[in-house]
Amino acid sequence: MTKLSVNINKIATLRNSRGGDTPNVVQFAKDVQRFGSEGITIHPRPDERHIRYQDAYDLKPVVFTEYNIEGNPIPKFMDMVLELQPTQVTLVPDSIDTLTSNAGWDTIKNNRFLAEIITECKRNGIRTSIFVDPVLEQIEGAKATGTDRIELYTEAFAHQYNLGNKNGIKPYTECAELANKIGLGVNAGHDLSLDNIQFFKQNIPDLLEVSIGHALVAESLYLGIENVINMYKNKLK
């Protein structure tokens, strides 16, 4: 069964909009795990416009499932990751001013840089994953860095699926098959939702984990967070 990791950035966005501590991200993390989430994902950015670096420390004692921290491996981010030692670090090539993640790594061009980061993480017992576009050469490049997993950037799939083009899944299936063949674990995330998650899961062999935040939180406004988590888990079986 594919694990569901809930990205709680949007809860922090809502909290920050009023300058207080409601909703409380630590309590939300406790609740979604109690409701059945198998992981918590956060993606702190340098401007801390949603999840703050302090949140990462506050969450550490309460995440009893898998703790996944995403981000661009700038020095401040890596200092935090190495101190907290989460279950997994997902390396994402965000620019400082990006609204949301919008591209995977060029794993060939950035091989040496990524390999150094990954070596340090693995030395500290942290599982590593690289955010990549569904391009076969980039999967091979990821393997050469020494990473444990890749995370397939699924925005293009979600867009094509919404247009009714189910052939948009093909590059993802091919990349997952190659990853499995060469010994890389496969995660996925970005714009996955209750509408498309089951189709995606059915076409991605040995999908280990999906990280979902924006859609899951939006759907929960109408359906309730506990209900939505269980709906995802049923679709991921």
Top-ranked range on mean pLDDT: pick from 42-51, 101-110, 111-120: 111-120
Rounded to the nearest integer, the mean pLDDT of the chain is 96
Q: How many CB atoms lie within 10 A of CB 65?
A: 18
Active site residues: 43, 70, 190
Mean pLDDT of 228-237: 97
Q: Where are the domains of the chain?
A: 3-235
Q: Is 56 exposed, middle or buried, given 0-12, 13-18 or 19+ CB atoms closer than 10 A?
A: buried
Of 27-41, 92-106, 162-176, 202-216, least confident by mean pLDDT is: 92-106
Question: What top-level class would CATH report for the domain 3-235?
Answer: alpha beta
What is the average per-residue pLDDT within 147-165?
98
pLDDT at residue 98, rounded to an integer = 56
Determine the Cα–Cα distance for residues 42 and 52; give it in Å rounded to an integer. 9
In this predicted model, what pLDDT tens digit does every residue of 171-209 receive, in sequence order? 999 999 999 999 999 999 999 999 999 999 999 999 999
Report the share of the chain in percent with pLDDT over 70.
Answer: 97
Mean pLDDT of 138-147: 98
Model confidence at 82: pLDDT above 70: yes
What pLDDT score was predicted for residue 32?
98
pLDDT at 1: 87
DSSP states along 136-184? HHHHHHHHHHT-SEEEEE-HHHHHHHHTT-GGGGHHHHHHHHHHHHHT-
CA distance to 26, 51, 56, 57, per residue, from 9 (Å) = 12, 6, 11, 15
Q: Using CB atoms within 10 A of its CB, is residue 29 exposed (0-12), middle (13-18) or buried (19+)? A: buried
Those residues whose C-beta lies under 8 Å from the C-beta of residue 85, and which sit 6 or more positions away, are 124, 125, 126
What's the whole-number mean pLDDT along residues 166-171?
98
